[in-house]
Every structure is written in structure tokens, then in C-alpha cells.
């Protein structure tokens, strides 16, 4: 049903970059926050770090809870800072994220809205599993709250002391709250860390959503999603809903 295995009765959607065009807002806010800090510090070898780029975002920050993303990036660059600096960086990023949201609103992807309608009409249970503590406001601003039976977000991850993506815990909680095990659920993810989480959780399907290109030609990001364990990689959920030639999971 809807391009998913027969056993699937629940769809677990990541939010930013799958249902809404907000991965780009996170990227902008992180880029500004990191690049305000980096020129003023040195790494463990005494060098001024190179600026934070989109590829840093995809490799270390995308899909992970806020503090995990900061720590993963700083560790990759061999940068040591005190916990207060980590906290202030996270706060600065969040202020910027909320300011952009306030200014621009949130755009849901049309193919995602069509898929949500089709999933609801087909009787699939719908949950959102996001590492963001802004999951509720983003869903609300996008007008998607009405579709969602269960939301697991960054606040739940902190309060329940769950391991963030790429650990499978937040998706497993989403499935449990929807009353199914991993064999009854499909994960939809745009981040490598999120696909890895779905794969580690042994879900019936892990759909990698590659919004970095509108081409059917495999992009580098599509290859990374496949490498992280996606069972299928699509550039639009229309391909699952309407059918047609599989874009496949590039090797």
C-alpha cells in the first residue's frame, strides 16, 4: 500500500526536510551560529577552524538532537569548548531558527501533503518522529497537526533520556505509542542519521527522501542515504503514492 510492504500499518515521518521545508532553515540558523563562534576560537592544534559548511551540516548535525549535533561537529573538528559555550551556541541557533520561522512561516512539501492525505484515507496510522524541540510549532505552522496521531520530538528525547538518532530509540518509541513493532512500521527520513536510526531499528521499510535534487539521477546525498541503510530512496513521495519506475536505492 502506498509503495510500502504489506505488513506496514503505521508511517513514522521525520519532519524537517521530509514533510516541511525546514531543513534549510535549520541549516541557515546553524551556519550563522557556528560561524559567529569559529573565528574567535582555536582547535586543539591551535588553528582557527575553517567555516561551517553545508557538508558539515549533513555529516554531523542533520537529524540529530540539538546538543548531539553541536558535539558531533566540534568533535569532528577537534574543538574543545566548555559546556556554557555549547549551551549558548544552541540558544543562539534556536533564536535564529525561530526568527526565520516567524518571518517566513513554514511550507509543507506538496508531495508530502498529498501522501499524508492518501495515507490517512488508506487507514495508515501517522506519527511524526523528530529530533527537534520545535516539532510542535513547526507542524502547527505548516497546518499538518491534524494528520498526526502521535508526535515524538526533541523534548521527549530529553525528558525520557532517549539516545538520539542515529540510535533507533525515538522511532521505536513512536512505533510503540502507535501500538506496533518495527515490522509494522515504515520510517521516512531525509537525514543520514535518521536513515541509520530506521535501519538500526529493523523497520519494515526505511524510505530515504532526497530533497537535494529534483533529478531522478542519484545525487551524492541519495548515495549516502542508501549507504546508511535506506530500503528505497525517492526525491518525492509522489513516486510511492502514484507508482512508476522505482528510482531505486543507489549503490
Which residues are the active-site residues? 14, 16
Write down the least CB distance from residue 121 to ligand BG6, Å.
27
Q: Which of 178, 181, 189, 199 is nearest to 124 (CA)?
A: 178
Of positions 60, 66, 239, 241, contacts ligand BG6 by CB under 6 A? 66
Q: Provide the 8-state DSSP code for 243.
A: -
Q: In the stretch 30-49, what mask flags binding to ligand BG6 with x, by CB under 6 A? A: --------------------
Q: Cβ distance 33 to 56 under 8 Å?
A: no
For the CB of residue 191, give the shortest distance to ligand BG6 in the complex, in Å. 6
| Residue nearer to ligand BG6 on the CB measure, 3 or 62 | 62
Among 63, 125, 182, 198, binds ligand BG6 (CB under 6 A): 63
Q: Which is nearer to ligand BG6, 27 or 116 (CB)?
A: 27
- Asked if 131 is part of the footprint of ligand BG6 (rule: CB under 6 A), the reply reads yes
Q: With binding defined as CB under 6 A, does residue 212 bind ligand BG6?
A: no
User: ω into residue 166 within 30 of 0, thus cis?
Assistant: yes
Q: Are strands 185-189 and 10-13 parallel, antiparallel or unpaired?
A: parallel
Bridge partners, residue 208, by sequence: 189, 233
Examine residue 154 and tell whether it contacts ligand BG6 (CB under 6 A).
yes
In the complex, least distance from residue 130 CB atom to ligand BG6, rounded to whole angstroms: 5
3-state SS string over 75-135? HHCCCCCCHHHHHHHHHHHHHHHHHHHHHHCCCECHHHHHHHHHHHHCCCEEEEECCCCCH
Pick the closer one to ligand BG6 by CB: 97 or 171.
97
Element (H, E) at 238: helix 238-242
**Does position 69 bind ligand BG6 by CB under 6 A?**
yes
Rule CB under 6 A: which of 157-196 touch ligand BG6?
191
Give the CA distances from residue 173 to residues 112, 164, 238, in Å, rounded to whole numbers and listed in that order. 23, 11, 27
The yes or no reply on residue 26 touching ligand BG6 (CB under 6 A) is yes
For residues 156 and 133, what is the distance between their CA atoms, to the nearest angstrom? Answer: 8
> Site residues (CB under 6 A) for ligand BG6?
16, 23, 26, 61-63, 65-66, 69, 94, 97, 130-134, 154, 191
Amino acid at each position: 500500500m502506498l509503495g510500502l510492504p504489506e505488513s506496514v500499518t503505521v508511517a513514522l515521518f521525520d519532519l524537517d526536510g521530509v514533510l516541511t521545508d525546514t531543513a534549510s532553515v535549520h541549516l541557515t540558523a546553524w551556519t550563522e551560529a557556528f560561524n559567529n563562534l569559529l573565528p574567535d576560537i582555536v582547535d586543539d592544534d591551535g588553528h582557527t577552524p575553517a567555516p561551517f559548511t553545508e557538508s558539515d551540516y549533513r555529516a554531523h548535525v542533520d537529524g540529530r538532537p540539538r546538543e548531539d549535533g553541536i558535539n558531533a561537529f566540534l568533535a569532528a573538528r577537534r574543538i574543545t569548548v566548555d559546556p556554557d559555550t555549547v549551551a549558548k551556541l544552541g540558544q543562539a541557533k534556536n533564536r535564529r531558527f525561530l526568527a526565520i520561522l516567524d518571518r517566513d512561516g513554514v511550507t509543507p512539501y506538496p508531495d508530502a501533503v498529498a501522501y499524508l492525505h492518501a495515507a490517512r484515507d488508506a487507514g495508515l496510522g501517522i506519527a511524526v518522529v523528530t529530533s527537534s524541540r520545535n516539532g510542535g510549532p513547526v507542524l502547527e505552522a505548516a497546518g499538518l497537526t491534524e494528520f498526526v496521531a502521535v508526535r515524538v520530538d526533541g523534548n521527549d528525547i530529553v525528558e525520557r533520556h532517549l539516545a538520539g538518532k542515529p540510535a533507533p530509540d525515538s522511532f521505536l518509541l513512536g512505533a510503540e505509542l502507535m501500538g506496533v513493532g518495527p515490522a509494522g512500521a515504515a520510517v521516512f527520513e531525509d537525514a543520514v542519521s535518521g536513515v541509520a536510526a530506521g535501519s538500526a531499528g529493523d523497520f519494515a521499510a526505511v524510505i530515504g527522501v532526497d530533497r537535494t535534487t529534483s533529478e531522478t539521477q542519484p545525487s551524492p546525498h541519495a548515495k549516502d542515504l542508501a549507504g546508511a541503510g535506506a530500503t528505497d530512496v525517492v526525491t518525492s513521495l509522489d513516486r510511492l503514492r502514484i507508482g512508476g519506475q522505482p528510482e531505486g536505492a543507489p549503490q
